């Protein structure tokens, strides 16, 4: 493989190097497998790897290239897949003991679309159990370490997906985002992470956490790579009743059009108390770059922002308590041995199989849905969810996209917040709003702290207007 293609490691770089015969998919795959062997013992991004499967995929691409056939969009590009997404016959633990040993009999639509586009699957990626967490410390298989500082968290819940790209162990990865689980780890690890509009990517084959919030999206080293992957995985799917029939544009085509004349909103609520001074400085510098590139920067207000975290934790846990009822030891996964009755088997299986954060959220969700509390908590949260969504609809009548910090701080230390759930939940304070409203967003690297920790800017856009946030992200990246 030519050194330029290795160094670039971009999707188009790899695809065209294979097409031109400068390298082979097999050689590219082996380079990434060697990196995993070298780096991952320190980082622990992968929960499972299958060398032979990846090499067999690579050989099929090399056969196409040898015949001179045109190569699909992701030909020979090494990917990792978050372990909450299914690939037929491969472990899918969701970071939980309750699914240890489970081999799903079907493949997630987004994963199948990657495979059809020629992607190579290196393995499945570590995450917080059932995608519940902001630090990856809730994985039943041990935490992921941030490649930029091994004593720090990579963010969560898609910590393995972000760390794998940051450490050069995959060119791109899939993650999932329910309250910030793609954007926040992208920010902590210095990579690009995309929250597509709700309905843009089919959720079929995603092990559900909170169905009205869950989304699948890509990580990449650059905005262009992330946009390319979204273009492949987006689109309607009969297997997900909430997936949209709107056509999928070519996101890469409009990428370089710049931000001249674009109106970009800066919501004051995202720069209030609790924002780390270094993060503020970095984001303000990023905003100035976009202004210099020709964007019109407008101060805006999203007045209900401070209610987003409590709203999110009521709605997400309520939905989780229902979704996780299916893990009962009957159809798949763990079953506690030697139970005398069905009821005892359910309880013992769930006690053995679920970790503390998952139990906490199931209990909270069950509580807020229970008789006497439904109106006070669940219905109230659904009402505030509409107010939060309307804040964005009003703002998007004035501006084309919104700029905020992705997270209030750079990556924190492993263990720093693990004993205080509310402090941990506040790591998602800038990301849960877009989750509740269903709009799209992307986190793009925007400088570093004095200690060298990455800082991400979050760019939020209208429903189904990913093209605009990618343009802004590209302008920031190349500024």
Partner 1 sequence: MPETERVSPADVRRVAELANLDLTADEEGRMRRDLNAILDYVAQLGELDTAQVEPMAQVSEVLAVSGEPVSEKQSVLREDEVRPCLDRAQVMASAPETDGVFFKVPKVIER
Instruction: Tell me the per-residue interface mask from 455 to 474 with partner 1, x by CB under 8 A, - otherwise.
Output: -------xxxx---------
Q: Would you count residue 343 as binding partner 1 (CB under 8 A)? A: yes
The catalytic site residues sit at 82, 157, 181
Q: Which of 421, 448, 477, 479 binds partner 1 (CB under 8 A)?
A: 421
Q: Which of 246, 248, 293, 297 binds partner 1 (CB under 8 A)?
A: 246
- Residues 77-106, interacting with partner 1 (CB under 8 A): 102-106
The three-class DSSP label of residue 326 is: helix
Instruction: Tell me the per-residue interface mask from 200 to 219 with partner 1, x by CB under 8 A, - otherwise.
Output: ------------x-------
Give yes or no for a contact between 25 and 55, defined as CB atoms under 8 angstroms apart. no
- Report the length, in residues, of the chain: 479
In angstroms, give the least distance from the CB of 6 to partner 1. Answer: 40
Q: Which of 7, 70, 238, 450 binds partner 1 (CB under 8 A)?
A: 238
Q: Would you count residue 380 as binding partner 1 (CB under 8 A)? A: yes
Which residue carries 């993060």 as its tokens? 279
DSSP of 168-189? TS-SEEEEEESSSTTHHHHHHH
In angstroms, give the least distance from the CB of 226 to partner 1. Answer: 22
Q: Which of 30, 240, 276, 390 binds partner 1 (CB under 8 A)?
A: 390
Residue 321 or 449 having the CB closest to partner 1: 321
Phi, psi angles (nearest 5°) of residue 188: -65, -30
Residues that contact partner 1, how many (by CB under 8 A) = 78
Q: Which of 4, 281, 301, 370 binds partner 1 (CB under 8 A)?
A: 370
Q: Strand pairing of 78-82 and 172-177?
A: parallel
DSSP of 205-255? TB--S-TTT-EEEEEESSHHHHHHHHHHHBS--TT-TT---SPPP-TTTTG
In angstroms, give the least distance from the CB of 275 to partner 1. Answer: 19
Q: Which of 199, 408, 441, 445 binds partner 1 (CB under 8 A)?
A: 199
Distance from the first to the final alpha carbon of the chain: 30
Distance CA 215, CA 206 (A): 9
In angstroms, give the least distance from the CB of 327 to partner 1. Answer: 10
Q: Would you count residue 367 as binding partner 1 (CB under 8 A)? A: yes
* Nearest-10 Cα torsion for 391, 393, 398, 400: 120
The three-class DSSP label of residue 105 is: coil
The three-class DSSP label of residue 441 is: strand
Q: Which of 209, 396, 412, 430 binds partner 1 (CB under 8 A)?
A: 396
In angstroms, give the least distance from the CB of 57 to partner 1. Answer: 22
The three-class DSSP label of residue 2 is: coil
Q: Would you count residue 220 as binding partner 1 (CB under 8 A)? A: no
Distance CA 330, CA 351 (A): 15
Q: Would you count residue 298 as binding partner 1 (CB under 8 A)? A: no
- Residues 306-335, interacting with partner 1 (CB under 8 A): 306-307, 309-311, 313-314, 321, 325, 328-335
Give yes or no for a contact between 329 and 346, defined as CB atoms under 8 angstroms apart. yes
In angstroms, give the least distance from the CB of 413 to partner 1. Answer: 21
Q: Of the listed pieces 46-54, 68-76, 183-191, 241-249, which binds partner 1 according to CB under 8 A? A: 241-249
Residue 73 or 463 having the CB closest to partner 1: 463
98 CB-near residues (< 8 Å, 6+ apart): 327, 333, 334, 349, 350, 352, 353, 354
């Amino acid at each position: 493989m030519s050194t330029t293609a290795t160094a670039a490691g971009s999707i188009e770089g790899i695809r065209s190097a294979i097409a031109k015969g400068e390298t082979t998919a097999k050689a590219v795959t082996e380079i990434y497998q060697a990196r995993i062997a070298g780096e991952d013992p320190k980082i622990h991004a992968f929960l499972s790897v299958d060398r032979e499967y990846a090499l067999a995929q690579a050989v099929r691409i090399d056969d196409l290239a040898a015949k001179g056939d045109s190569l699909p969009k992701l030909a020979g590009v090494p990917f990792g897949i978050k372990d909450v997404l299914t690939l037929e016959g491969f472990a899918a633990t969701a970071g939980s003991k309750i699914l240890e040993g489970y081999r799903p009999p079907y493949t997630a639509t987004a994963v199948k679309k990657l495979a059809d586009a020629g992607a190579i699957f290196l393995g499945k990626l570590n995450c917080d159990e059932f995608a519940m967490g902001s630090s990856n410390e809730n994985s039943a298989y041990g935490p992921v370490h941030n490649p930029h500082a091994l004593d720090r968290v990579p963010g969560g819940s898609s910590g393995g997906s972000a760390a794998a790209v940051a450490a050069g162990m995959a060119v791109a990865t899939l993650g999932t985002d329910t309250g910030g689980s793609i954007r926040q780890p992208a920010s902590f690890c210095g990579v690009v992470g995309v929250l597509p509009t709700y309905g843009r990517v089919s959720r079929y084959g995603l092990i559900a956490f909170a169905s009205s919030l869950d989304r699948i999206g890509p990580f990449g080293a650059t905005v262009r790579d992330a946009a390319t992957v979204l273009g492949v995985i987006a689109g309607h799917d009969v297997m997900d009743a909430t997936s949209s029939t709107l056509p999928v544009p070519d996101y890469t085509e409009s990428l370089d059009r710049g931000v001249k004349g674009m109106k970009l909103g800066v919501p004051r609520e995202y720069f209030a108390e609790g924002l780390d001074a270094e993060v503020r400085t970095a984001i303000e510098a990023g905003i100035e770059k976009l202004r210099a590139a020709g964007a019109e920067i407008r101060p805006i207000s999203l007045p209900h922002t401070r209610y987003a975290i409590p709203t999110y934790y009521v709605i997400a846990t309520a939905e989780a308590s229902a979704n996780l009822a299916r893990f009962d030891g009957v159809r798949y996964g763990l079953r506690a041995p030697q139970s005398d009755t069905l009821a005892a088997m359910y309880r013992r299986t769930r006690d053995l199989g679920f970790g503390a954060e998952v139990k906490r959220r199931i209990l909270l969700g069950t509580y807020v849905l229970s008789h006497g509390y439904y109106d006070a908590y669940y219905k109230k949260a659904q009402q505030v969810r509409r107010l939060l969504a309307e804040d964005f609809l009003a703002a998007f009548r004035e501006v084309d996209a919104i700029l905020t910090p992705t997270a209030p701080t750079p990556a924190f230390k492993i263990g720093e917040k693990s004993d205080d759930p509310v402090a941990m939940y506040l790591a998602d304070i800038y990301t849960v709003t877009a989750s509740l409203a269903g709009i799209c967003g992307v986190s793009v690297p925007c400088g570093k702290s004095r200690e060298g920790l990455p800082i991400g800017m979050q760019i939020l856009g209208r429903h189904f207007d990913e093209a605009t946030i990618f343009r802004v992200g590209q302008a920031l990246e190349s500024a």
